[in-house]
Structure 1
């Protein structure tokens, strides 16, 4: 997955949006640091104002890094490889592994099927050792049987459990 470069207009729009978002943060940080009211933030020596803006960018940088880690982890939880993460970020597979060491989880060979009893029925969640994804089969209280399609395997056990639980809830025993 190669990401196209942004256009000059898009870069200009992005810079404007970031500066618009940064201004209130820089003002608040500077006001707290100096004890001055926010409306007086810009009435300081230019070096102090510039340092206040720099401090605000540090906060933004930390937040971008945090959100980037979340995005990489989310992509990894849905099956993205380090090669794909690296391509999206413009770095190598090894660089992505170093940047986000916990983003891609390897399937555990110790994972075992899990049984659930819900709504009077039972479901079994089964890991696919090759992909790390999970499938489910269910015997519902109304006597019906259901299963996830192999191509619809879930990236996590919890997601497979949610689908199996939804199936069992839809197929409760008739009131009688």
Structure 2
């Protein structure tokens, strides 16, 4: 897994961007607390000013946690595992699962699903295994038969249908007549 460390220049730029984003928020918090206009924030008691800055960082921290959970959920929706997310975050798989419990959906055990496909004068049956993988078996209009081979499985019903459809098209009877 690649390292996600940042360079000193990137860290300086990030700190500047965060401070630039934080300043208006800290000013608004301080203004609400004191009734002073935001442009006079720095004229207040230094302890109160720094506590306003600390309060703003707390708001930023909560937002970063929310956005981090959203990014983890997005990664999980694309198929990233807790192991991968943990590696990126520098924690264990179990730590990632605890940190983002809803990020990776655990599919319910799939009941075997079946679907029929009729194209180009032939038929195919799509079958879902308890593991969730799909296979297909078909008979073309010309009588040829085929399907997923031993151990060959498709990840989705759509993938199995695409393979079966391609087979059925290849084994369609030529009804176009002479050209």
Q: TM-score range by the shorter chain?
A: 0.5 to 0.7
Aligned residue-pair number: 132
Q: Which runs of 4+ in 1 moved over 2 A?
A: 1-4, 110-115, 125-137, 146-149
How do 1:1-176 and structure 2 match up within 5 A?
A: 1-110=1-110, 130=131, 134-136=156-158, 147=161
Higher RCO structure (Cα 8 Å, ≥6 apart): 1
TM-score by length of 2: 0.64
What is the CA-CA distance between 1:127 and the residue it aligns to? 6.9
- TM-score, L = length of structure 1: 0.65
Output the aligned Cα RMSD. 2.7
Secondary structure of the 1:101 match is coil
Gaps spanning 5+ residues in structure 1: where? 116-124, 138-145, 150-176
User: Where in structure 2 are there 5+ consecutive unaligned residues?
Assistant: 116-125, 134-154, 164-179
CA distance in structure 2 between the partners assigned to 1:110 and 1:58 by the alignment: 43
Taking a change above 3 Å as real, the CA distance of residues 63 and 127 of structure 1, as seen in their structure-2 partners, is farther
- Alpha-carbon distance between aligned partners in 1 of 2:57 and 2:8, rounded to the nearest angstrom: 22
Cα displacement string for residues 2-42 of structure 1 (whole angstroms, at most 9, x for unaligned residues) = 33311111100100000001001111111111111111111
